[in-house]
Every structure is written in C-alpha cells, then in structure tokens.
Amino acid sequence: MTPEPSIHLSGSSRPGHALLRPAFLLVLGLSCPVAFGESLIKCWTNQEGIRECGHQIPPEFSQDEHITLNPKGVQVGHSEKATTLEVYRDIELKRRALAKEEIEEKSRRRRDEVLSRLYSSPEDLIAERDENLGIIKVRVQSAENAMERLEHQKATYLEAYEKARFENDTARSSQFLVYLATTEEDMSRQLKFLQEKREEMKSIEIKYDRDLKRFIELRKNKAESEAKDDSAP
C-alpha cells in the first residue's frame, strides 16, 4: 500500500511535528478556529522536495506549483508553475514559425493552382518568360543608347568648357558647367533606370525558372496519380 505524502507545516518550531498528514490539518483547522479562522492554506514543495503548508507562500516558491486547502483540509485550488520569460519567448517563436509555415503553405497552394490553371505545357511558361524579358530588353537597349549619347554630349561640353576657360571666357565656361551638371544628372537617372531593369530581368528569370520546375513537378505528380487510379482494381 502506498504511504500518504508527508506535509511540512511552514513555521513550526517543534521538530517532532515537522511532518504532518493532511488529516492532521483537518483536525487542526477544526480545533483552532481562532488561530486559522476561515483563512485558506497554501501548500507548496520546497527545494528539498518536502511539501510545506502555511497561510503565505514564501517569495522564493511563489511562482512554483502549489495547491490551496480550505480550513477543513479539502483542496479548493491548484496553481501550475508560472511560465518564465524564456518559456514565453520560446512559445512565441514557435507560434510565429508555425504561422509563417502556414502562410507559406497557403501561398504555395495558390501558386500551384495558378500554374495548373493558366498553363498547359512548359512551353507556355517559356514563351511568356521570353516575351516579358524581351519587353524589358528593348527598354534596356534604349536606355543604353541614351547613355552613349549622354557620354558623348558630356565629352563635348567638357571640351568646350576647357576651351572657354583657356580663353578666359567666364560667361561661356559658366554656361558649359551648367550643361555638364545637367548632363551628369541625366546620366545618373539613366544609370539608375538600367540597374533597376537589369534587376527586374534577374527577378523574372528566377521566378520563371522556379515556376517551370514546379509546373513540371506538378505534371509528374498528376501523371503518377492518374496511373495509380488506372491500375487500381
């Protein structure tokens, strides 16, 4: 027969009465109404694994698991061990990771639906990719031609500025400085445009490469599934 767990009444100064059974608490609560009145009794486990009881939980154990007894010794409450900040953070990180996985899964399913609905073959994807890239390439080529013209224009203005400066023609040299500054601004805008379009082309290539691989995978999975259905009795 399993022995009943022993309880140590916190604050007791008599060693012989250090371990008290729950039944004793019942008798003690009924026989000492003045001492205990209607106060509830808290029971917790100390660092040595011994159950202690009292009307107030020591601060060092206040966040640990404990139970509450009424004056008759009947359990009327139970408090789990408080969750620490580290545990809260771990729970929150796991929750966010799970939410991210769910969002990514929904996004993947939507992409799969779009691929299956819009394209009938890998060639459709390739043709669409090449068409989109072709449009951007035309704009890139136009911007590159404009850059060449601006570079030639800058060289012309610079030469004219040096000549006016050599001739001490302050008015003309100042004018060509303005032209040079305007040309450099135009070149800066064209360069930024070229960088953006080249990055856009890279993004398109990456997107269609990913979609093409996924489309082929979906077709393969579909074919395998249909083959299994056909072979089923």
The pLDDT value given to residue 230 = 65
CA 132 – CA 123 distance, rounded (Å): 14
Mind giving me the DSSP string for 106-125? HHHHHHHHHHHHH-SSHHHH
Q: 222 with 124, same domain?
A: yes
Q: 123 with 111, same domain?
A: no
Mind giving me the DSSP string for 139-165? HHHHHHHHHHHHHHHHHHHHHHHHHHH
- Does residue 33 lie within any of the structural domains? yes
Strand ordering across the sheet containing 7-9: 19-20, 7-9, 51-54, 41-45, 66-69, 75-79
Quote the tokens at residue 25. Answer: 């608490």
Q: Would you say residue 142 has pLDDT above 70?
A: yes
Instruction: Please give the tally of structural domains in the chain.
Output: 3
What residue numbers bound the domain in which 112 lies?
A: 83-118
- Does residue 52 lie within any of the structural domains? yes
Sign of CA dihedral 219, 224, 230, 233: negative
Q: 27 with 60, same domain?
A: yes
CA 151 – CA 157 distance, rounded (Å): 10
Q: 61 with 123, same domain?
A: no
Digit-coded pLDDT (tens) for 159-207? 999 999 999 999 999 999 999 999 999 999 999 999 999 999 999 999 9
CA 121 – CA 112 distance, rounded (Å): 14
Closest CA to 63 of 85, 41, 48: 85
Digit-coded pLDDT (tens) for 16-67? 444 444 444 444 444 444 344 458 899 999 888 898 998 888 888 877 888 8
Quote the tokens at residue 174. Answer: 């100042």
Sign of CA dihedral 158, 164, 165, 169: negative
Q: 150 with 88, same domain?
A: no
Contacts for 224 with CB less than 8 Å, ≥ 6 apart = none
- Does residue 149 lie within any of the structural domains? yes
Q: 149 with 212, same domain?
A: yes
- Does residue 1 lie within any of the structural domains? no
- Does residue 191 lie within any of the structural domains? yes
Amino acid present at 103: I
Q: 163 with 201, same domain?
A: yes
The pLDDT value given to residue 88 = 74
Cβ atoms of 42 and 9 closer than 8 Å: no
Mean pLDDT throughout 126-131? Answer: 96
Q: How confident is the model at residue 146 (pLDDT cuts 50, 70, 90)?
A: very high
What are the CA-CA distances from residue 169 to residues 69, 124, 161, 166 (Å)? 103, 64, 9, 8
Q: 127 with 222, same domain?
A: yes
